[in-house]
Amino acid sequence: MIPELGKYAFAVLSSYGVSILLLVGLAWMSVQRARKLRQRLEEVEARMKRHG
């Protein structure tokens, strides 16, 4: 089921590799940002409960 890539094998496979790495990196950055924002939101909510 693997297509014959011939002389373009390196270019195609390295493009797939770079694309996968970029997608994984973007997903990781999104998760990290969501965690940071959730923590900041919890801090703001705790501050609001104490003062209001």
Which amino acid is residue 51, in one-letter code? H
DSSP symbol at 21: H
pLDDT of residue 9: 93
Which amino acid is residue 4, in one-letter code? E
Domain boundaries, the chain: 18-51
Is the pLDDT assigned to residue 1 strictly greater than 80?
no
pTM of the model: 0.73
pLDDT of residue 3: 78
The predicted-structure confidence for 7-51, as pLDDT tens digits, reads as follows 999 999 999 999 999 999 999 999 999 999 999 999 999 999 998
pLDDT of residue 30: 98
Cα–Cα distances in angstroms (integers) from residue 4 to residues 1, 13, 14, 26, 31, in the given order? 9, 12, 15, 30, 37
